[in-house]
Amino acid sequence: MVNVAIIGTEKSGRTSLAANLGKKGTVSDITMYNNEKEGKNMVFVDAHSYPKTLKSLVTVLNISDIAVLCIPQGLDAHTGECIIALDLLGFKHGIIALTKSDSTNMHAIDEFKAKLKVITAGTALQNWECISLNTNKSAKNPFEGVDDLKARINEMAEKIEVEHAELNSLPARIFIDHAFDVKGKGCVVLGVVKQGISKEKDKTKIFPLDREIEIKSIQSHDVDIDSAPTGTRVGMRLKNVQAKDIERGFIISDKENVTTDYVLECAISKFTKKIEPESVLHLFVGLQSEPVRVEKILVDGKEAKEAKPGTACVLELSGNKKVAYSKEDRFLLSNLDLTQRFAAYGFLK
């Protein structure tokens, strides 16, 4: 199974494209579209609350294997912000979809593709393919080019399934994106198996609650299954926990780190402002997020008064909410007061 993020600025065609690629499912600040055709199960996820909230964008990227960046005509601030987010996350698999081919001449499209090549050079997107298509139901040839996009996604999916298989030997780890109670069944969570194989009747834990739970049953695409390998989108019935105690981003696994404070080795984005002690940033890891305060900045091992754009540093951060993570997880930092909100990425020191 492969999960695909459909992202972009408002009116980029992302929602129309996602709806064309699958059948509408779970709706919150993100919308799932399920596709079970051609023997492959795929979930397309639209971050429809973006750009109003960063949380929806980070959520869809961190539950997905492929990103489709929808760009209508030209670049705007939020398209740039999406490019920066993908780069800070080191996003491996993706496609740029130019979504207005029905109202743009081929010469202009070719010029824009060349411009994008320059803009994305040196980023995670530098080798991403650009595909021209339209997402206009009323166009003379509605959704022309979408079949080319589907074919490219299917090619990527084959590589990703190999990558998933290599992760199956690791301890199971499930990221939760929704939780609710079902009458007569108890607590149900929806999420994605990020690594390992999760099995029915597994006795494990949920973090950051650090509470022992049992996985009573597992479904995928409304079908009961005994086990769920890496990449599977799942619904799980859980024992010994209630939905009201669960937030987006909680993790089902045997072991996680849980803290409120962090020491991160960070790379500051070139496209942000300097970071200073006492600054308040927003931290994202997995699907969790919380505000944090910059307590100390270290540059080349020495305490500093600022971290400049495009530099490396160590940030000591303090928060109030318990957050669960593993040592390998990538953290994102953002400044919600700026136009371009993503500030840095980092790993535990």
The full set of domains in the chain, from first to last, is 2-167 (3.40.50.300), 173-253 (2.40.30.10), 257-348 (2.40.30.10)
- Beta carbons of 99 and 132 less than 8 angstroms apart: no
The conformation of residue 308, written as its DSSP 8-state character, comes to -
Closest by CA position to 145, among listed 112, 104, 93, 111: 104
The residue written with tokens 């980092």 in the block is: 346
For the stretch 11-55, pLDDT in tens is 999 999 999 999 999 999 999 999 987 567 899 999 999 999 999
Tens of pLDDT, residues 291-344 = 999 999 999 999 999 999 999 999 999 999 999 999 999 999 999 999 999 999
**Residue 51 tokens, joined:** 């750009």
Angle CA(149)–CA(150)–CA(152) in degrees, nearest 5?
65
DSSP state letter for 113? H
DSSP letter at 68 equals: E
Q: Is the pLDDT of residue 232 over 90?
A: yes
- Across residues 223-243, what is the average pLDDT? 97
| Pairing state between β 23-27 and 302-303 | unpaired
Residue 39's pLDDT is 64
Q: How far apart are CA 339 and CA 348, in angstroms?
A: 27
| C-alpha torsion sign, points 114, 115, 117, 122 | positive
Backbone angles phi, psi at 152, to 5 degrees: -65, -40
For 232-292, the DSSP string reads: -EEEEEEES--GGG--TT-EEES--EEEEEEEEEEEE-TTS--B-TT-EEEEEETTEEEEE
Work out the average pLDDT over 172-178. Answer: 98
| Residue 61, beta-bridge partner list | none
For residues 299 and 341, the answer to whether their CB atoms sit within 8 Å is: no
Rounded to the nearest integer, the mean pLDDT of the chain is 96
| Per-residue model confidence as pLDDT tens digits over 96-148 | 999 988 777 888 889 999 999 999 999 999 999 999 999 988 888 889 999 99
